[in-house]
């Protein structure tokens, strides 16, 4: 059973311009609890007093997920984090030769520092879950990573995270996360180190989810994600997409409550000041909408003709958009939907013409506008007080189930 670490409150806040008030962070943590993630990384408490306060408050809230904090390999960071009462601590330190040179240090000295800090954290709380991340793991020298990771495990780390800090990996190539995780596990085992493996995949090449699934197939036990894929640069794996794919296609997380996701996404989007892109899988406004005539006709008979993911898993419905691409079937369905079925053939044809014309102006015809079109063509009057305008499209349920 794979475990999900949400880091919207830590990595997500590293998105330029994103800063959540503490009352919003608390609300987000509560919603993540309802969704059913396993670990919430709440922040790097030494950064500001507000973050420290937020980490402490979320840690003492009695939520089901394990509450975590982020720390550099420094005594002060660890003291402050542990003092917040977290049950999970992520310690990171890059061990690439490049960085070692930059910091004018050597691998043995750095490993000594890392192990000292892991042991220090362990002594502060014997039940703490400790993760060590060699930052930029996948571009660091292999021997350095294996050496640092195995020593960290010996010092008390439970989890080693493979960080694709720059979104560098590509499935099926020499830069495969599948191969990386498999080899790392083997090489650590040779050194008698048996940590859980986590994967932290950035999206610089648009491959974050593919790489995370690659790591998962190689047996990674923890996958990091954020709401909306927030994070540095191109961000991280999107939580909703990850959960939906794992649940629908890999039979994971049957206890996850994906129907809570729209509320969580709405909250994060609003307070991050970031619109949900219309084409974003699972959460975008378009992603369960059928448009072209051939598609709508087939989907109305059986949505599976043009859908491989059930919108119901996150509490959404398939819908039809009317525009210049629409065919007769879609318009007839939409007319029924607003209670205006049974128009004369001549009127129906003119409605279809008007829908297409409106679409050519770059507008999708919603329920409200379709009523206006019908009234225009039939020259009927409607008492505007009879109904509220309805700007939704035309939803339809799956006739199969």
Q: Which residues bind ligand HCA (CB under 6 A)?
A: 11, 14, 70, 90, 92, 133, 135, 161, 163, 165, 200, 202
Question: Closest approach of Cβ 323 to ligand HCA, in Å?
Answer: 41
If one counts every other C-beta atom within 10 angstroms of the C-beta of residue 345, the result is: 7
Q: What is the phi-psi region of residue 231: left when phi exceeds 0, alpha when psi lies from -120 to 50, beta otherwise?
A: left
| CB closer to ligand HCA, 25 vs 202 | 202
The nearer residue to ligand HCA, 180 or 396, going by C-beta atoms, is: 180
Quote the CA–CA distance of 36 and 206 in Å, as a whole number: 26
Task: Tell me the closest approach of the beta carbon of residue 202 to ligand HCA, in angstroms.
Answer: 6
Q: Which does 90 bind (CB under 5 to 8 A by kind): Cu ion, ligand HCA, none?
A: ligand HCA
Nearer to ligand HCA, 15 or 54 (CB): 15
Say which of 295, 324, 347, 391 is annotated catalytic. Answer: 295
How many alpha carbons lie under 13 Å from residue 323 in its C-beta half-sphere?
Answer: 14
Which one of Cu ion, ligand HCA, none is in contact with 161 (Cβ closer than 5 to 8 A by kind)?
A: ligand HCA
| Distance in Å, CB of 162 to ligand HCA, minimum | 9
Four-CA torsion 84, 86, 88, 90, nearest 10 degrees = -10
- Hey, which residues does 103 pair with through a beta bridge? none
CA distance 196 to 188: 11
324 given a catalytic annotation: no
What angle, 0 to 180 degrees and rounded to 10, lies between the N-to-C axes of helices 177-190 and 142-155? Answer: 50
Stated length of the chain: 401
Shorter beta-carbon distance to Cu ion: residue 14 or 366 = 14
Residue 236 structure tokens: 């991280």
Residue nearest to Cu ion (CB): 11
Cα 237 to Cα 155: distance, rounded to the nearest angstrom:
30
For Cu ion, the binding residues (CB under 5 A) are 11
**What minimum distance in Å lies between the beta carbon of 94 and ligand HCA?**
8
As given in the structure block, the two tokens for residue 49 are: 């007093």
d(CA 215, CA 237) in angstroms, rounded, equals: 12
Q: Which is nearer to Cu ion, 10 or 56 (CB)?
A: 10
CB of 149 to ligand HCA, least distance (A): 12
Catalytic residues: 295
């Amino acid at each position: 059973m794979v475990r999900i670490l949400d880091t919207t409150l830590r990595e997500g806040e590293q998105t330029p311009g994103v800063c959540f008030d503490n009352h919003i962070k608390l609300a987000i943590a509560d919603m993540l609890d309802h969704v059913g993630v396993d670990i919430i990384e709440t922040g790097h408490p030494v950064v500001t007093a507000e973050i420290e306060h937020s980490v402490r408050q979320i840690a003492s809230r009695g939520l089901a997920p394990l509450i975590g904090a982020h720390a550099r390999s420094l005594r002060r960071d660890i003291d402050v984090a542990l003092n917040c009462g977290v049950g999970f601590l992520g310690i990171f330190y890059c061990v690439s030769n490049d960085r070692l040179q930059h910091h004018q240090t050597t691998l043995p000295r750095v490993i000594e520092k890392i192990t000292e800090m892991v042991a220090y954290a362990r002594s502060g709380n014997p039940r703490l879950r400790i993760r060590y991340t060699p930052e930029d793991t996948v571009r660091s020298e292999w021997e350095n990573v294996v050496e640092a990771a195995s020593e960290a495990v010996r010092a008390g780390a439970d989890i080693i995270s493979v960080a694709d800090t720059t979104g560098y990996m590509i499935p099926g190539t020499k830069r495969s996360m599948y191969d990386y995780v498999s080899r790392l596990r083997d090489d650590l085992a040779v050194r008698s180190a048996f940590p859980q493996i986590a994967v932290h995949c950035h999206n610089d090449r648009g491959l974050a989810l593919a790489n995370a699934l690659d790591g998962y197939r190689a047996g990674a036990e923890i996958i990091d994600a954020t709401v909306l894929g927030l994070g540095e640069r191109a961000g991280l794996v999107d939580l909703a997409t990850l959960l939906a794919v794992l649940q629908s296609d890999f039979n994971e997380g049957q206890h996850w409550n994906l129907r809570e996701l729209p509320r969580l996404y709405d909250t994060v989007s609003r307070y991050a000041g970031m619109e949900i892109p219309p084409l974003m899988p699972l959460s975008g406004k378009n992603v369960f909408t059928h448009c072209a005539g051939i598609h709508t006709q087939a989907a109305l008979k059986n949505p599976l003709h043009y859908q491989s993911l059930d919108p119901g898993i996150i509490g959404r419905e398939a819908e039809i958009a009317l525009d210049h691409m629409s065919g007769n079937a879609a318009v007839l369905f939409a007319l029924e939907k607003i209670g205006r079925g049974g128009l004369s053939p001549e009127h129906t044809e003119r409605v279809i013409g008007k829908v297409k014309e409106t679409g050519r102006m770059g507008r999708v015809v919603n329920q409200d506008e379709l009523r206006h079109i019908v009234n225009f063509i039939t020259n009927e009057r409607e008492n505007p007080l009879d109904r509220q305008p309805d700007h939704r499209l035309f939803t339809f349920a799956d006739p199969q189930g």
